[in-house]
Structure 1
Amino acid sequence: MKRLAAVVTLASLAAVTACSGGGTTNQSGSGGGGGLFTTIDVNRPGLEPSAPANPYAPKGNSFSAFNAMKIGWVKNHLTDPNVALPGIAASWDLAADNSAITLKLQPNAKWSDGKPVTAEDVKLSIGIAYTQGSTAFAVTPGAAGAAAEVTVVDDKTVKITQDMANPSPKFARGVLDTTVVPAHVWNSVLPADFWDTLKTAREEGADAEKARETITGLGEKVLTFAPPKDVSAGPFVLERVNPGEALLVKNKNFFNAANVAPDQVKFLNYTGNEQIWNYLTAGKLDHSGFVAAPTDVMNRIKAAPGSEVIKGYSPVAVGLAFNQTKKPYDNVHVRKGLAYLINREEVTKVASPEGGTAAATTSGIHQKAAQAWIPETVGELEPYATDLAKAEEEFEAAGLTKKDGKWTLADGKPWKMSMHAPAGFSDWLSAQENIKSQLIKAGVDAEVVTTSDYPLYLEELAAGKYDAGFWLMALGPAPYDIFQRLYGASNGWANVAGKVSHSPAGKAGNWMGGPEEIEVDGTKINPGELTAKLNSSTAEEAKPIMAQLAKAANQDLPVIQLWDYVNTQFVNNSRFTGWPHDDEILRLGSGVLASGVWIQLGMVKAKK
């Protein structure tokens, strides 16, 4: 999993020399005269030469916004999850009650083999999305924001209706975020009776259950499908891949090809942050998404000829999360004591000086989004400014005692705080080492334990093996997505078809183990149930709920919010210019390679 290059999933930090690939230069090629554009895929370290050009394959040679196209390119707007830029759809109409979205496809869109992009391509792609459990195309009965009907109106128009039995305010986002593939290449992955099976799957009973299993079972066929060649509706087409690089060439049939500056795109291989640093300091990359780097490395990157760092809002934060089934973290006074003890400014300066800002407090929301959603509540929250005296008061209230300058547990046993992070997450590891130093200085014994990789880290975290670990949170822009990181499955609440259930600590993935009810402003609330309400609330309905949840997170501290991420983009002006500095254009949705969108919209220009 990797939403930010600051937290790239890394196999190792070993340096690997990229192969040249042969035949690619920075000289102008045929078509746009823009030469070669060089970048990396921050979402995926390591290239697989034998992998297919399949956007669903875990390591497929499909690069979002370059040779893989979505219906629209969703932005991470502060408060509206449905704001997007045109993709395969040139425009769309969203019903006032959010009950339907009607897509108008790009009139001149063609596949790289010359065939037109049609509504049937979009319908087949939606069918494939059902096999993958897509947000808007879920087969679970009653799933929030699920589509009810998909109707081909004409060759360039598709209408998708929402099941209003359990509507979601981010329905349109789920539709627009769908990858579109060519039906004439992919039609074999879905059986002829697929849509009949889907209709049955939406019903109740044994036949419906069997139909849902059939659709889910098709998912593996989709994941392993290998098209004979890349047929792209994007600005580029995959030419070849070797262990060092992937080369894409300009798609002359792309609907906006006249405004696509580069003739070729090269994705360089990397297996760790250090390689990306070397590429950037050498000026080899025209664009890279954020990668965590220490101050001295960041200074070298900035000093490279043509280098520019562009910053904007990123709807995500990182927190130190507690397993409350482990003592003494079951005691809120211990968590509060740690919040007063840890200097967040110092941690951020050491770990993410360019990619984050120290959290103003723990609210569960990125500070910038909090100012937009709940500005009045923000000032009411306890900031947990660093205060050693208050930290000691909280520890004493928890029954801890200090002997010979070291804090011990209430039963007199030694207390060692163990923090976990995955190998290769350089900002997380630096942060935990700094926290460790702060804790030891204050008399709390501490250690940092490294897990071999991120998937194993998540697996062991969910299994309740850690006392504390880092946890991505505040994932905007939708209110439900923001708070479900604290009050969702990881803390015991399951939201299935609008029905909320709670599992006890240690069961069904509940590794946080927080209380089922929390008293806020004199009233007991169930934060999981309130979070579930956000999945079907309007923006105005969501604001008071978010205020309650922010207060709950602030006083109960299931995590200590450490820093709010900054959307940092690295560009080089030596070969291309025209980079966007508009915050909304910068903050495209997760998994999207932003420079591909900028290129296809004609924003990026070859330097004269």
Structure 2
Amino acid sequence: MKRVAAVVALLGLAAVTACSSSGNTPKSATGGGGGLYTTIDGNHPGIDPAGPANPFAPKGNSFTGYNAMKLAWTKNHLTDPNQFYPGIAASWEIAPDNSSITIKLQPNNKWSDGKPVVADDVKMSIAIAYSQGNTAYSLQPGAAGAAADVQVVDDHTLKVTQDMANPSVTFVRGVMDMPVVAAHVWSGVIPANIWDTIKAARGTDAAAEKARADITALGKQIIAFAPPKDVSAGPYVLERVNASEALLVKNKNFYNAANVGPDQVKLLNYTGNEQIWNFLKGGKLDNAPFTAVPADTMAQIKAAPGNAVVKGFSPVALGMAFNQSKAPYDNVHVRKGLAYLIDRDQTTKVASPEGGTPAITTTGIHQKPAQEWLGAELNNLEPYKHDAAKAEEEFKAAGLQKKDGKWALSDGKAWKVTLHVPAPFSDWLSGAENIKSQLAESGVDAEVITTADYPLYLEELAAGKYDIGFWLIALGPAPYNIYSRLYGVTNGWTNIAGKTTHAAPGKAGNWMGGPETIEVDGQKINPGELNAKLNSAGVDEQKTIMLQLAKATNQNLPMIQLWDYVNTQFVNTNRFTGFPEADSDLLRQSSGVWIQLGMVKKKQ
């Protein structure tokens, strides 16, 4: 998959928590500093030399973890979205009811131009976040998990309060997962009355609509802004950029500069997997984040001196999703028949041998957190193991006919399964081609149709143009986010101001077209309403709801869960040491985060 762009793009509990840099920063590796560290930015294919040093610009030269900083860096916890490593924030305290978070900034951090990083920088960055649609800083009236108030306590302390009229367990994550920029650089872009406009925008009258329109317009100006030079609060500052690479040099004013190992970082340009493979085979990269790699190429990469593979948990799975408003996929027996026909072990081995594990069943949850959420009940769900005889039973129950060894629709017309995938995603394409072959062997005619790029693919998928499309699911760790992929807008449900509504198939982005209610254990449930409850429920209630939704997903099959992703990364120990070990939660963060936490050191 082309840098698994969809995975990268997608991916953010009430408790009293006090986290500090001393308690959350991994111990530094032994060894001195110095040297050039070479990698790629998994969020940044296609370096644009003309791009600004602006973290909000789609083609900007602001690289997360290197010269772009967030308040904190999320840990890769199985079930808790509110665990972090320090960034601009040194420590934080979450209120017992999740109603607020008090943030303490790094006391000695400075921007690369020597000015201190203070709470006013963060408050201006929050104003910008409102214009960019950040989840915690939404101006949509009644939005779940939105901030109600931002208070600067002192130069290094802020308190952000949640609107408890419609609370969300992901509020804290939304607050912390936010870029921070220098107020003295951005003040000319942000109107002096911005907070008055934000306050007005929270209303429901005509004045509020105008205020929201003004902030939307401001958002476009922010995206277009080009600072005169890079002013960074991270471990590095941009030195130069061209069509081949970006070079960053150490920011001596960074709060942990003494423990930043490499003096320079070079980020190489790439546009697809093949370039990354060649970099790795040549031993050019000190690290490469998750990259889909075929078996023969993996062997060549491993053969390069110093190269090693490190694997960890990735809270993402791949589903083959159905448009249930289209026949014959409106019939659950057809969906079940296809589930029994597809050998997920074979598909995963062909498509993602290093980056995925076959789904043990279809739940809508990655199998690792599924064990935490569902416990022993996971073993009671239908596994849909490859079974041609069961597939035939299901097809017959759906009324399909078999003629001359080929399955046809109930009216005798030809049936062709059409699988849509974005062309740049090599693992998805390989998986679809394998499924096509498997179905053909069982008498089901199938074809694979590719879409030129991922944005167009998503656009056409949302427009209901596909019968079947590959769809990322299980985006943890927050339970609400996990099931929003199946029981959110794409399947008709919208949660606004604490009220859940359902749109008919083909309306308001509902391309999945599933039923509004599903019978589970003899009781009718509304999956969208249950998923909305996950936004504010306590842990015990969350587990009950997760089990109900897992059962509903397992028996109704809005999609077939093909494989659960494994975060397969590459490191080279010829030049540096101190990389995260297998299963480290830091594998979901960039090399820049590892470096700024003091882990990576030049090899002695």
TM-score interval, smaller chain: over 0.9
Report the counterpart of residue 15 of structure 2 in structure 1.
none
Which residue number corresponds to residue 280 of structure 2? Answer: 280
Task: Give per-residue Cα distances to partners, 1:246-272, cap 9 Å, x unaligned.
Answer: 111111111111111111111111111
Q: Counterparts of 1:382-421 in structure 2 under 5 Å?
A: 382-421=382-421
| Residue in structure 2 matched with residue 26 of structure 1 by the alignment | none
**Structure 1 pair 520–217 and aligned structure 2 pair: CA distance change class (3 A):** same
Deviation string, structure 1 residues 566-600 (Cα, Å, up to 9, x no partner): 11111110111111116343343xxxx52111000
Q: 1:497, CA displacement in angstroms?
A: 2.2
TM-score, normalising length from structure 2?
Answer: 0.95
Question: 1:545 maps to what in 2?
Answer: 545
Per the alignment, residue 195 of structure 1 pairs with 195
Q: Find the counterpart in structure 1 of residue 499 from structure 2.
A: 499
| Equivalent residues of 1:108, 1:255 under 8 A apart | yes
Structure 2 match to 1:19: none
CA shift digits 1:348-405 (9 cap, x unpaired) = 0001111110000000000000111111321121000110000000000000011111
State the SS of the aligned residue for 2:137. Answer: coil
Q: What is the CA-CA distance between 1:302 and the residue it aligns to?
A: 1.2
AA in 2 matched with 1:558: P
Q: Deviations 1:114-157 (Å, cap 9, x if unpaired)?
A: 00000000000001001111111111121111111111111111
Count of aligned pairs between the two proteins: 582
> Residue in 1 aligned with 2:136?
136
1:424 maps to a residue whose letter is P
Partner of 2:372: 372
Q: Which residue of structure 2 aligns with residue 604 of structure 1?
A: 600
Deviations 1:495-522 (A, max 9, x none): 1222211111111111111111110000
Match of residue 590 from structure 2: 594
Tell me the distance in 2 between the aligned counterparts of 1:292 and 1:405: 36
The reply on whether 1:93 has 2:76 as its aligned counterpart is no
Match of 1:21 in 2: none
Structure-2 separation of matches of 1:465 and 1:483: 23
Name which of structure 1's ranges 195-204 and 154-163 shifts more when overlaid on structure 2: 195-204
Distance 1:522 1:213 in 2: 48
Deviation at 1:211, TM superposition (A): 1.5
Number of the residue aligned with 2:490: 490
Q: Which amino acid aligns with 1:388?
A: A
Letter of the 2:494 counterpart: A
Could you tell me the TM-score, scaled by structure 1's length? 0.94
User: Deviation at 1:33?
Assistant: 4.4
Q: Any residues of structure 2 matched to 1:518-529 within 5 Å, and which? A: 518-529=518-529
Residue 166 of structure 1, CA deviation: 1.0
**Equivalences for residues 425-440 of structure 1 within 5 A:** 425-440=425-440
* Secondary structure in 1 matching 2:560: strand
Structure 1 contact 77–584 (Cα < 8 Å) conserved: no
2:310–2:582: 8 Å Cα contact kept in structure 1? no
Q: Is 1:463 aligned to residue 470 of structure 2?
A: no
Q: Which residue type is aligned with residue 597 of structure 1?
A: V
Q: Secondary structure at the match of 2:136?
A: coil
Residue matched to 1:577: 577
Counterpart amino acid of residue 137 in structure 1: Y
What is the alpha-carbon root mean square deviation over aligned residues? 1.4
1:291 is paired with a residue of what secondary structure?
A: coil
1:325 aligns with 2:325: yes
Structure 2 residue identity aligned to 1:412: G
Aligned counterparts of 1:128 and 1:163: Cα–Cα separation in 2: 19
Q: Assess, with a 3 A threshold, how the Cα gap between structure 1 residues 6 and 37 changes in structure 2: closer, same or farther.
A: farther
Aligned counterpart, 2:292 = 292
Aligned equivalent of 2:109: 109
CA contact (8 A) 2:33 2:601 kept: no
CA distance in 2, matches of 1:247, 1:499: 49
> Does residue 534 in structure 1 map to residue 530 in structure 2?
no
Distance 1:505 1:393 in 2: 28
Alignment deviations for residues 451-483 of structure 1 (CA, whole Å, 9 cap, x no partner): 100011101111111111100000000001000
Q: Whole-Å Cα distance in 1 between the matches of residues 481 and 76 of structure 2?
A: 12
Query: Which 5+ residue runs of structure 1 have no aligned equivalent?
Result: 10-31
> Which moved further from structure 2: 320-329 or 48-57?
320-329
Q: Matched residues in 1 for 2:268 and 2:38: separation? A: 7
Query: What is the alpha-carbon distance in structure 1 between the residues aligned to residue 568 and residue 5 of structure 2?
Result: 10
For 1:189, what is the secondary structure of its paired residue?
Answer: coil
Task: Give 3-state SS (helix, strand or coil) of 2:91's partner.
Answer: strand
Question: Match of 2:139, as an amino acid?
Answer: V
Could you tell me how far apart the structure 1 residues matched to 2:43 and 2:413 are? 44
After superposition, the Cα gap between the structure-2 partners of 1:241 and 1:481, relative to the gap in structure 1 and judged at 3 Å, is: same
**After the TM superposition, which segments of 4 or more aligned residues of structure 1 sit over 6 Å from their partners?**
6-9
Structure 2, unmatched stretches of 5+, are 10-31
Q: Distance between the aligned counterparts of 2:114 and 2:549, measured in 1?
A: 52
Identity of aligned residues (%): 71
